[in-house]
Amino acid sequence: MTEAHVRVENLRKTYQTRTDEIEAIREVQMDVAEGEFISILGPSGCGKSTLLMIVGGLLPLTSGTVAVAGENVSKPRRDTGVVFQAPVLMPWRTILKNVMFPIESLGLREEEYIDRAHELLEMTGLSGFADNVPSELSGGMQQRVAICRALIHNPNLLLMDEPFSALDAMTRDLMNQELLRIWEEYKKTVLFVTHSIREAVFLSDRVFVMSPRPAVISEIVTIDLPRPRELAIEETPEFNEYVAHLRGLIEH
């Protein structure tokens, strides 16, 4: 195997509060190959967001190393895109201008990316909404805008922190399918945080199971299901075996 795209070694993270220390992550090791779709699965409060934010360079670590493309991460990288749990769109900007925000803040030339912005909006079924404002879009549509925004500068690594957890079940299924379609098209490495077992199985090449806090990776499960995947795959016995297996791991 060539150099890992994302490598996490002996990662430890303790939050310092005024009164005490909270050990969020005790010991995490991860090796993620280029183009892999990885889910990080664990109960709420176990440290998934913490891990993802450290990989994104948005939080300092306590000890250990996190490297992306062979370089230690200490601040946000230009080749990473992050999608948060909420869409966090700027209400004063149109959808197109929201998608273009990273181009401005990264100091790139806007003319060179405007076509790509339209292409991403087209890809996510939002081409008719470029000039709308966020409040005119549903929650699912807003989160799709956030995905377009995370992809606009053509990053190699996409970090997604429970991006669909606020959506209703049906919208969520559709979004998962759409996300896979985007991933097949652009072939990014994805780290996808979730506490939904079915979502993790449906999307991933491998699922990293995190223990309750203080977190360690308790298990890595390779999901050997054919791609491209459609929602119908959730009815197959193989799919449900993975779900049952993961549920067993989490409940212990």
Ligand X SMILES: Nc1ncnc2c1ncn2[C@@H]1O[C@H](COP(=O)(O)OP(=O)(O)O)[C@@H](O)[C@H]1O
Choose the binding region for another protein from 10-18, 25-33, 74-82, 191-199 (rule: CB under 8 A): 74-82
Choose the binding region for ligand X from 39-47, 131-139, 223-231, 242-250 (rule: CB under 6 A): 39-47
Is 188 a binding residue for another protein by CB under 8 A? The answer is no
Is 17 a binding residue for another protein by CB under 8 A? The answer is no
Q: What angle do CA 83, 84, 90 make, to 5 degrees?
A: 90
What whole-number distance in Å separates Cα of residue 85 and Cα of residue 19?
A: 28
Choose the binding region for another protein from 33-41, 84-92, 191-199, 243-251 (rule: CB under 8 A): 84-92
Q: Which two tokens stand for residue 182?
A: 């985007």
- Spatial strand order in the sheet of 80-83: 71-72, 63-68, 6-16, 21-32, 215-222, 206-210, 37-41, 189-194, 157-161, 80-83
Is 46 a binding residue for ligand X by CB under 6 A? The answer is yes
What whole-number distance in Å separates Cα of residue 20 and Cα of residue 182?
A: 43
Choose the binding region for Mg ion from 14-22, 41-49, 92-100, 168-176 (rule: CB under 5 A): 41-49
Burial of 201 (0-12, 13-18, 19+ CB in 10 A): buried
Three-state DSSP at 215 gives strand
Is 13 a binding residue for another protein by CB under 8 A? The answer is no
Residue from 58, 69, 114, 233 touching another protein (CB under 8 A): that is: 58
133 binds, among Mg ion, another protein, ligand X, none (CB under 5 to 8 A by kind): another protein
46 binds, among ligand X, another protein, Mg ion, none (CB under 5 to 8 A by kind): ligand X
Residue from 10, 45, 228, 238 touching ligand X (CB under 6 A): that is: 45
Pairing of strands 37-41, 206-210: parallel
Contact residues toward ligand X (CB under 6 A) are 15, 17, 22, 24, 42, 44-50, 213
Contact residues toward Mg ion (CB under 5 A) are 49
